[in-house]
């Protein structure tokens, strides 16, 4: 378990992703063929590549893009321990990733934490940075490192306790620990429509930041750390 004195070395993060194009028809023909090939065994027999595209393109780094990254951290520099959140959101993915990479370079001592981060957030961020020609910050440059040398924490992995067939959502973990979560007007399945049809990045950012808050609270519960007033200013 993580000790309380190490909290200020952890950066909690969440990303929101959408498809690279608003719909399948907007893809160039060669990319349509690549999508059809990539998802051939994921689609139902009667489901076309076009129908499957808005459902899954956003979660595949080769066919998606990041529209928001929210980060949270604990600090006691101004007095009692408090939690702060910073977000990067833009319709220009390269801008988001450059700003995030710059933040990582200024915080090389930080360990990253996300829910299902080792399977989704961390590899997705790494792949999109490479696609955009952005050098990987130290926390993402894992080549040649042993597993215990990689500065990543994952609340899903912490909750598994070795039971690797188990998947538990962040929402369920929050409920298990009695962590109140707001009744959001959107969920993850709606982010693509909010971005492409409503052009409402602010709404997506609010949703992303709430997930980071929940992530940090779940992390405290798993590690049995009390920080009763850390979130008072949020």
**What are the structural domains, with CATH classification, of the chain?**
4-18+71-222 (3.30.420.10), 21-62 (no CATH)
Q: Which of 180, 187, 182, 217 is nearest to 204 (CA)?
A: 187
Find out whether 73 and 83 touch, Cβ atoms under 8 Å.
yes
Element (H, E) at 73: strand 64-75
Mean pLDDT score, 56-84: 94
CB atoms within 10 A of CB 223: 16
The per-residue pLDDT for range 145-171, each reduced to its tens digit, is 888 889 999 999 999 998 888 899 999
What b-and-e string marks burial along 75-105, b requiring 16 or more CB atoms within 10 Å of the CB? eeeeeebbbebbbbbeeebbebbbebbebbe
The per-residue pLDDT for range 45-54, each reduced to its tens digit, is 999 999 999 9
Residue 2 exposure: Cα atoms within 13 Å on the Cβ side: 24
Burial of 186 from C-beta contacts in 10 A (0-12 / 13-18 / 19+): middle
Position 78 scores a pLDDT of 77
Position 229 scores a pLDDT of 83
Question: Which is it for strands 111-114 and 82-89: parallel, antiparallel or unpaired?
Answer: unpaired
Query: Tokens 């719909």, residue?
Result: 23
C-alpha to C-alpha distances, 24 to 32, 33, 208, nearest whole angstrom: 7, 11, 26
Position 232 scores a pLDDT of 82
Find out whether 154 and 116 touch, Cβ atoms under 8 Å.
yes
Cross-strand bridge partners of residue 82: 75
The percentage of the chain sitting over the pLDDT mark of 90, rounded to a whole number, equals 80
Sign of CA dihedral 147, 152, 156, 158: positive
Mean pLDDT score, 99-111: 94
Mean pLDDT score, 197-210: 96
Answer yes or no: is pLDDT of 3 > 90.
Answer: no
Position 142 scores a pLDDT of 87
Q: What is the DSSP letter of 131?
A: H
């Amino acid at each position: 378990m993580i000790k309380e004195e190490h909290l200020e070395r952890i950066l909690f993060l969440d990303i929101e992703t959408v498809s690279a194009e608003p719909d399948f028809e907007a893809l160039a023909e060669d990319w349509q063929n690549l999508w059809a090939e990539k998802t051939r065994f994921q689609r139902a027999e009667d489901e076309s590549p076009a129908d499957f595209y808005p459902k899954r393109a956003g979660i595949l780094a080769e066919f998606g893009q990041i529209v928001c990254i929210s980060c949270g951290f604990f600090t006691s520099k101004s007095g009692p321990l408090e939690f702060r959140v910073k977000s990067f959101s833009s319709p220009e993915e390269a801008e988001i990733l450059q700003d995030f990479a710059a933040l990582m370079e200024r915080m090389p001592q930080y360990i990253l934490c996300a829910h299902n981060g080792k399977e989704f957030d961390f590899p997705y961020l790494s792949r999109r940075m490479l696609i955009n020609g952005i050098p990987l910050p130290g926390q993402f440059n894992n080549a040649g490192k042993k597993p215990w040398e990689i500065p990543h924490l994952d609340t899903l992995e912490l909750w598994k306790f070795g039971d690797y067939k188990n998947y538990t959502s962040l929402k369920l973990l929050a409920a298990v620990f009695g962590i109140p979560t707001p009744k959001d007007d959107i969920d993850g399945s709606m982010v693509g429509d909010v971005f492409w049809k409503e052009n409402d990045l602010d709404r997506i950012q609010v949703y992303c930041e709430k997930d980071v808050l929940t992530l940090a609270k779940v992390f405290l519960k798993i590690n049995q750390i009390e920080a009763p007033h850390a979130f008072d200013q949020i």
